[in-house]
């Protein structure tokens, strides 16, 4: 489970995240929606221990991200927006390397490598070097690397970036299949991607959390207003959550 309590992040004089609180429970898929530069990636980096919060508290499965960062990293699968891959390594070698760093023994590593290869669609590129792979395949390699150790908490930052429409649909089904026994938080600035697989949506803009709503509730508001869910979300962003 992810617990974010009154978290604030300053970059020098710039306030990037302003007193944000939310939870993601086991079995939930929660979408994190907002314009570019809204603060989504900063929140995800704090959850994943890449950045420390200036104020507030973040826990992953009961472990504080500042006091117990190694425990958090063992439990977390994180795909950053710009996933850093070793371009000169072959794909299979890269995934094996990451699995070993994650502490997987030989048997478990073979099992997990087979699983991510099949579920992330990497069979055709295992022998290629990373730099030889397309943008879409590189994104799928990043997802495989995030899941190689079978984490109970998954954080994905713009996971469909670089995927073609068919791959996006396949990825949605893939994430839905991961729900059981896991807490999943993923960010996007594309509403249709978020509503396709999320039960709840967190809407952020200018570092402030404007809404934490079930998709169903947003749909009801949209019908009452005679518009679409997209119209409702845009109104929340424009009015600072006063809808």
**Rounded Cα–Cα distance for residues 41 and 38 (Å):** 8
pLDDT digits (tens, 9 = 90+) for 153-176: 999 998 887 778 888 888 888 888
pLDDT(110) > 90: yes
Cβ-contact 167, 206 below 8 angstroms = no
Nearest to 85 by CA among 8, 167, 146, 9: 146
Give the global pTM. Answer: 0.89
pLDDT(85) > 70: yes
pLDDT digits (tens, 9 = 90+) for 1-55: 999 999 999 999 999 999 999 999 999 999 999 888 889 999 999 999 999 999 9
Residue 91: what pLDDT?
A: 97
Residue 188: what pLDDT?
A: 84
User: What CATH code would you report for 2-84+151-239?
Assistant: 3.40.50.300
């Amino acid at each position: 489970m992810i617990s974010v309590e009154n978290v604030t992040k300053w970059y020098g004089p710039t306030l990037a995240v302003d007193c944000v609180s939310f939870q993601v429970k086991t079995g939930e898929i929660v979408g994190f929606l907002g314009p570019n530069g809204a603060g989504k990636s900063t929140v995800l980096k704090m959850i994943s221990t890449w950045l420390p919060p200036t104020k507030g508290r973040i826990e992953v499965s009961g472990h504080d991200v500042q006091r117990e960062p190694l425990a958090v990293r063992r439990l977390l699968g994180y795909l950053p927006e710009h996933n850093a891959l070793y371009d000169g390594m072959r794909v299979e070698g890269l995934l094996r390397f990451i699995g070993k760093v994650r502490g997987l023994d030989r048997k478990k590593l073979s099992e997990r490598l087979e699983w991510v290869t099949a579920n992330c669609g990497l069979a055709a590129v295992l022998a290629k070097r990373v730099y030889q792979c397309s943008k879409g395949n590189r994104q799928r390699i990043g997802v495989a690397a995030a899941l190689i150790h079978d984490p109970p908490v998954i954080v994905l930052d713009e996971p469909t970036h670089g995927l073609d429409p068919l791959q996006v649909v396949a990825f949605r089904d893939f994430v839905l299949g991961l729900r059981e026994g896991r807490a999943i938080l993923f960010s996007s600035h594309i509403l249709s991607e978020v509503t396709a697989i999320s039960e709840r949506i967190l809407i952020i803009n200018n570092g402030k959390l404007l809404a934490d709503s079930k998709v169903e509730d947003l749909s009801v508001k949209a019908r009452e207003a005679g518009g679409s869910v997209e119209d409702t979300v845009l109104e929340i962003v424009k009015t600072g959550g006063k809808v």
